[in-house]
Amino acid sequence: MIVVNSVQTLRRLIQTHRDMGHRIGFVPTMGNLHAGHLSLVKTAKQHADIVVVSIFVNPTQFGPNEDFDSYPRTFEQDQALLEQEGADIIFAPEVAEVYPNWPNLTRVQVAELGNNHCGASRPGHFDGVTTVVSKLFNMVRPDCAVFGQKDFQQLAIIRRMTSDLNFDIDIIGAPIVREANGLAMSSRNGYLSTEQKEHASFIYQTLSWMKQQIENGERDYRALEQAAKQRLTEQNFKPDYVHVARQDNLEMAQDGDQQLVLLIAAFMGKVRLIDNMTLEI
């Protein structure tokens, strides 16, 4: 496994693989890797000959009061995990390498899909994500790229951006990886104590409960969202949002819609956790 920090070296290295006819898979990350990220690498290996993993804590996707400075940077540990998993190249650039004209930026903004759910609570967040992912796509020029379905809205936005900007890249969504208690794996779980992690699985339980209600015939989705919020509040969570949405355009679901996604964002103390569950009716 090779670690590179500059775009120039990365490009040269990838070109040698391309010349050999290798298919390039890409997994963008912000580091602090866990089993969820490693499953993305596994998926990439099934679709490509060479897997490039980027580790870059992207400043443009953090709001002014968010955890950019304190976001865990665990490069040595990440490197060991990626080596074990059989990744081929780690691309770990500095901010100046990715954003040479920082703080003046050309930005990529996807219309519509980023306005609700996390986009409403974290203004500018998805513009930061699409800006960095489009830059990384141009640096790596992969044949396929793998993103986790845990960030359901992010995945939808990346798919739209890829299509709208004509990137010739297959976007692959990989299933959510959960702890034994159901808690979705996330770098932010590292902020939680063992006890809090146990309690945080209530978000998954709430999603499962909502799914059950819908399968039992509940079609008043706004009432269901309120009831789920109430349950979370009673368990000392501060719900940011609980939404029943359409999978295709992420608009709020109405009776008659068939492919649904249940989305929750809730604070446990200062830690904001997100999770989702899809269902077809």
The catalytic residues are: 37
Considering only CA atoms, which of 150, 157, 153 is closest in space to residue 118? 153
Select from 30, 38, 88 the least CA-distant residue to 58. Answer: 30
The one-character DSSP state at 178 is: B
To the nearest whole angstrom, how small is the minimum distance from the Cβ of residue 68 to ligand PAF? 11
**132 contributes a contact to ligand PAF by CB under 6 A:** yes
Cβ-based nearer residue to ligand PAF, 149 or 154:
154
Number of residues that bind ligand PAF (CB under 6 A): 10
- d(CA 229, CA 153) in angstroms, rounded, equals 20
User: Which CB sits closer to ligand PAF, 61 or 206?
Assistant: 61
Q: What are phi and psi for residue 51, nearest 5 degrees?
A: -115, 125
Does the footprint of ligand PAF cover residue 133 (CB under 6 A)? yes
State whether residue 224 is helix, strand or coil.
helix
Quick note: the x/- pattern for ligand PAF over 39-78, rule CB under 6 A, is -------------------x--x-----------------
Residues paired with 87 in a beta bridge? none
Q: Which amino acid is at 68?
A: F
Can residue 28 be called a binding residue for ligand PAF (CB under 6 A)? yes
| Min dist. Cβ of residue 153 to ligand PAF (A) | 11
Site for ligand PAF in 248-277 (CB under 6 A): none
Name residue 243's beta-bridge partners: 263
* Tokens coding 23: 């298919």
Closer residue to ligand PAF, CB minimum distance, 40 or 232: 40
CB of 30 to ligand PAF, least distance (A): 4
Sheet of strand 271-280: strand arrangement: 238-246, 259-268, 271-280
Q: Does 127 bind ligand PAF (CB under 6 A)?
A: no
Q: Is residue 114 close enough to count as binding ligand PAF by CB under 6 A?
A: no
Spatial contact of 146 and 27, defined as CB atoms under 8 Å apart: yes
Stretch that binds ligand PAF, among 26-34, 177-185, 211-219, 231-239 (CB under 6 A): 26-34
Q: How far is the CB of 47 from ligand PAF (least distance, A)?
A: 17
Smaller CB distance to ligand PAF: residue 58 or 206?
58
Residues 6+ apart with CB under 8 A from 153: 113, 114, 117, 118, 119, 126, 250, 263
- Interface residues with ligand PAF (CB under 6 A)? 28-30, 58, 61, 129, 132-133, 151, 154
